[in-house]
Structure 1
Amino acid sequence: MPRWRALPEELDPEVREFTEQLRRLVERSGLSIGAVADRTGYSKTSWERYLGGRLLPPLGAAEALAEATGTDVVHLSTMWELAERAWSRSEMRHDSTVESARIARARAALGEFGPPQAAPETAAPQAAPHSARAGGRPGAVISEPLCHEVARRAAATEENPAAGPAGAAGPAAAAGPSGPAPRPPVPDSPRPPDYRAKAIPADAPAPRRRAALFVTGVVGALLVVAAIVLLLGVGDGAGGGPGSAPPLSSPSVVLPAGVKCTGAECSGKDPEAMGCGGGRATTAGSATVGTSYVEVRYSRVCGAAWARITQAAPGDAVRIDAAADGGVPARSESGKVVRDADGYTPMVAVSGPGKATACAALTSGPEGCTVARAASAPAG
C-alpha cells in the first residue's frame, strides 16, 4: 500500500511541485509523520494536511522541515514563495466563483416570485343616504353613526359659540345633567368641511418618545460594557508578558487546559502525562550521536525540559542535565529505550531553554551531548 495518497487534481502545478518536494524530503529522512511533528514543532494533524495537499504550510514549518532533514533552507524557501503566490491566486479564483454562484442563486430565488402584480381595484362602497365624505377625499367614507355624532356636535357649537367645537371637549362635555342629549335629526346635506376634519384624530407623539428612550437605553448599555472591558483589560496587564516563562515554583499560575504542573512541580514527572509535550514543547538543543538523534525538549508553559532520543535501539541511554540556577542545585534525570526506536527522560525544572543539556550513550559505543540553540515557537 503506498504511503502517500494522490494529490487533489485541482491543485495548482506550483503547489503540487512544492508538496511533492516536501514528501521527498520526508521519504529520504526516513522519519514518520509523528517524528516530523516533534522535530518541527508543528502538530501531526497539520503535517498530514500539508503533505496531503489540503493546506499550504507556513514558511516557518517549511524551514523547520529543511533544518530537521538537513536540506538547504534557501532553496526550499524559494519554492515556498512560488507556491504561496499560486495558492493565493487559486483562493481568489475560488472566492470569485463562490460569489458568482451566490449572486446567481439570489437572482433565481427573486425570479421565482415574478414581477410585482398590481392590486385589483375594488369598487368604492356605496354611501348610505346619510353618509358623508371626510374633507372631500374619495374613498374616505364616514359611517352613519359618525355622521350623527358630527351633526350633534355641530348643533351644540352653533347654540353655544363660546364653548368652542364640541370635538375639543369630548363626548362627556356635551352630556347634560340627566344624561346625553337626544340626537338631532340628520340634515340631508353634509356638514361643513371644518367639522368633518376635526372628527379625524391627529397623530400622537408617543412613538417618537419611545424610540428616543430605546436609543438612550442602548447607548447606556454599550457604555457599561465598554467600562467593564476596559477594567478587565487593565487587570490582565498586571502580570508578566506572554513570552515570559513561569518561575521554578509558581503555584498561583493559571495553567492551560490539559497542563497539570509547572516549575518544580514537574521535576521527575512524565512530560506527556503532564501535558507538557506535543505542540507545547520546542527543541532547545540537538545533536546526532552515531545513527541516533538526541535533543532537549523545552516547554515554556511548564517551565521544564527533558531529553529525547529517536532512531535509537533498545538499551540506548539518554540523560537530561540542568545547571544550577538561582540557588536551585543542578538536577539530572535518565531514561532508556526499551522497545521502540524512541525514548525520553522525566522532566527537570528550568528557567529557560538554554539551562539544560541532553546526552546519549548508545549500546553500539558512540556517546555525545547536545549543543544549545534558540528554541523555536511551539505550534498552535
Structure 2
Amino acid sequence: MGRRQPLRDDLSVEAVRLVRELRQYVDRCELNAATLATKTGYSRSSWLRYLNGSRLPPWPAVAGLGRLAQADAGHLRVLWEAAAQAWTRENVSAPTAPSGPAGSALTPGTAPSPAANPSTRRTPRGTGILTAVAAACAMVAAVLLARPWDGGTAAGRPPDGAPSGAPAWPWPLHDAMDRAAVTCRAAGCRGLDPYRKQCDRGSVAVHRLGAYGHVLTLRYSRLCRASWAEVDTPAATTGLRISTTGGDEQPAAAGGAYTAMVGSGPDAARATVVVHGHQLGVGRYDSWVHDLTGSGRA
C-alpha cells in the first residue's frame, strides 16, 4: 500500500503496536484497501482509517486480516484486546460507535462495541462477563505498558531468556537446551552464517515485502540476538544485503538466498535487494520500492 505517514504522537502504545502489526500483514500479503474490503467485508475507507490509526478496527476485521496473513491468532488477539482497552481508558464515558462490515469502527476515546467481540455479547448475566473481560484486558495492558525487559531499574531488568531491547511483545522464554544450541550472541554473530550457527531456531520474520515475483524478508533470532536478510528466490536478484543504522553491513554471497548476520536487533536493521532495476527494502516498521533504473546502483 506504499509508504505511510507516521502514526499520531497521541496514539496509545497498545494501538501503535496493533496498527504496526496489521501494516506488516498487509505488506506481507501484497494487499491494498480495495482487496481488503473484498476479502474481509469491511469497506475500503474503513481499512484506510484502521491502518492510519484513526479508528480501532473491530476484532472480526483484525481476525480476517490475520487469517489472510496466516498470523498467530492468539498473539493477534492479545494485541487487539490491549489496544481496545487503551481506547476505552482514554474516555470511558464516551458513547460506543457502531462497528461491523457496513459500519465504522471505534474512534480514540470510545469503548469497543460488544458486537465486535462475540465473546462479550450481552446475556442475562452479560454485565459480569464484560467486567471479567475488561479486568483481563487491563492486566494485559499493564504488562505491555510496563515492558519489564526494557532495562533500566532493577524492576525493569529483562527476564531470563528475553533479549535486551526486544522489539515486540510477547517474546516466549527459552529453556536451557535452546540457549545451549546456539554458538554466538549479538556482536559475536557478526559476519557468521545464521543457519550454520543454528540461529534460525526460533527466529522470526520481522517484516516481509513481496514485489516483482520475489519476497524479501528481515529475520531476527531471539536466541542469538542477531538479524539477517533473506530472499525467497535469489535468481534474477542482486545486491541482497542487511545494514544497520550503526553502519554495519553484510552482503549475501553471489547467488546466495540470505546474508550473514549483523549483531543487531531489528529496530536498527534494514534488508534490501535489487530486482529488475528496483530496490526492495524492509525495516522493522516500513517497506519500500525504489526505482534504480539509470542510477548505476546494484
- TM exceeding 0.5: no
Larger radius of gyration: 1
Q: TM-score range by the shorter chain?
A: 0.3 to 0.5
User: What's the TM-score once normalised by structure 2's chain length?
Assistant: 0.39
Choose between structure 1 and 2: higher helix proportion.
Answer: 1
